[in-house]
Amino acid sequence: MRVSTLTIPILIFVLSISGVSAQVDYLKLRDRYQLSCRIVDSVELSEAKVFYDSIAQFDIRPGLLEYYSDHAFLHYLMYLKWSNRDDLKIAANSYKFCWVKHQDMDALWSLGMVYGALGDCKQSIWFTERYLEERPDAEIDYKQVYLRYKACLD
């Protein structure tokens, strides 16, 4: 079931005028705008952005790590769609939260990807190597590792 684009903002407005500080269980809402690696259209990205921006107004418990991870991925997809580098910076900040606050190993890999897209080779390689050190038993896409190094050599 999909939530109307207006449902969450209206709920936030009602709660804000009533002075209620609300918590939200992001894990229960997550499937409403779950994005994937498939091609996403502009409308779907815009609806998802409204959803994530609305959720950010709440005290997110449980699911804070998942929220920031999904938020970062949304902005990465937005960058791929519209080439706005600010979206990459937002994605980097959200992935950093996942790493710093939750030691989420997948965030390391994603940070390497995002910094590579930003052209910051030092950070891209550092996060990629840190991921490889932290996950020695993980199934690694070494072609992606090679491409990250190669991009920095060009």
**Which pLDDT belongs to residue 21?**
61
CA distance 31 to 28: 7
C-alpha distances (whole Å) from 31 to each of 2, 25, 74, 149 are 9, 12, 14, 35
Report the DSSP beta bridge partners of residue 60. 24
Q: What is the pTM of this model?
A: 0.84
What are the tens digits of pLDDT across the range 40-64? 899 999 999 999 999 998 999 999 9
Query: Are the CB atoms for 51 and 38 separated by under 8 Å?
Result: no
**Which pLDDT belongs to residue 5?**
57
Residue 1 has pLDDT above 50, yes or no: no
Residue 33 has pLDDT above 90, yes or no: no
Query: Are the CB atoms for 26 and 62 separated by under 8 Å?
Result: yes
In total, the chain counts a number of residues equal to 154
- 141 Cβ contact partners less than 8 Å away, ≥ 6 residues apart: none
